[in-house]
Structure 1
Amino acid sequence: MKLNIIIIEDELTAAENLRLMLKEIDTDINILAILPGVEKSLEWLSSNKHPDLAFFDIQLEDGLSFEIFKEAEVDFPVIFTTAFDEYAIEAFKVNSIDYLLKPIKEEDLIFSLGKYEKLNKRNVEIEVVDKILGSIRSGQKATTFLVHLRDKLIPVSAKDIAYFYIQEGLVRGCSHQNQLYPIDHTLDELEESLETNQFFRANRQYIVNRKAIREMEFFFNGRLSLKIAPPTPETILISKARVPVFKSWMRG
Structure 2
Amino acid sequence: MVIDGNCVRETHDLKEEPLVLKNIIVSKGLKQLIIPIREIFYFFHENKNVFAVTSDNEVYFCELGLSVIEKEMCSGFFRINRQIIINHRAIKSFSYIENNKIALNVWYGEGRNMIVGKNKVASFKKWIMFDCSCASAEPIEMPQQQVRNTLLRKVHST
Give TM-score, length-normalised by structure 1. Answer: 0.45
Q: Deviation above 3 Å: which 4+ runs of structure 1?
A: 83-88
Following superposition, the deviation at residue 87 of structure 1 comes to 7.3
Instruction: Letter of the 2:90 partner, please give it.
Output: A
Rounded Cα–Cα distance in structure 1 between residues aligned with 2:8 and 2:105: 30
Work out which of the residue numbers 183, 202, 210 in structure 1 matches 2:62.
183
Q: 1:153 to 1:242 in 2, by over 3 A?
A: same
117, 125, 130: which one aligns with 1:247? 125
Contact 1:216–1:225 (CA under 8 A) maintained in structure 2: yes
Tell me how far 1:169 sits from its aligned partner: 0.9
- Distance (whole Å) between structure 1 residues aligned to residue 22 and residue 8 of structure 2: 9
Query: Where does structure 2 lack aligned partners over 5 or more consecutive residues?
Result: 131-158
Residues 87, 156 of structure 1: alpha-carbon distance in 2 compared, 3 angstrom cutoff: farther
* Structure with higher RCO (Cα < 8 A, 6+ apart): 2
Distance 2:110 2:8 in 1: 27
- Cα 1:148–1:248 shift into 2, 3 Å: same
Considering fraction of residues, name the structure with more strand.
2
| 233-242 vs 219-228, greater mean Cα deviation | 233-242
* Aligned match of 1:162: 41
Aligned equivalent of 2:25: 146
3-state DSSP class of the match of 1:189? helix
Partner of 1:121: none
- Equivalent position SS for 1:234: coil
In the TM superposition, residue 242 of structure 1 has moved relative to its aligned partner by 1.1
> How many residue pairs align between the two structures?
124
Q: Which has the larger radius of gyration?
A: 1
Query: In structure 2, do the counterparts of structure 1 residues 231 and 159 end up closer, same or farther at CA, with 3 Å as the change threshold?
Result: same
- Corresponding position: 1:228 with 2:106: yes
Q: Describe the SS at the equivalent of 1:241.
A: coil
SS of residue paired to 1:218:
strand
Contact kept in structure 2, 1:87 and 1:142, CA below 8 Å:
no
Unpaired runs of 5+ residues, structure 1, are 1-58, 60-82, 89-132
- CA 1:87/1:160 → structure 2, altered by over 3 Å: closer, same or farther? farther
**Of 210, 217, 237, which residue of structure 1 is paired with 2:115?**
237
**In structure 1, how many angstroms separate the alpha carbons of the residues matched to 2:60 and 2:106?**
17
* Matched AA of 1:242: K
% of aligned pairs identical?
Answer: 22
Q: Residues 232, 183 of structure 1: CA spacing in aligned structure 2 closer, same or farther, 3 A cutoff?
A: farther
Measure, in 2, the Cα distance between the counterparts of 1:204 and 1:183: 16
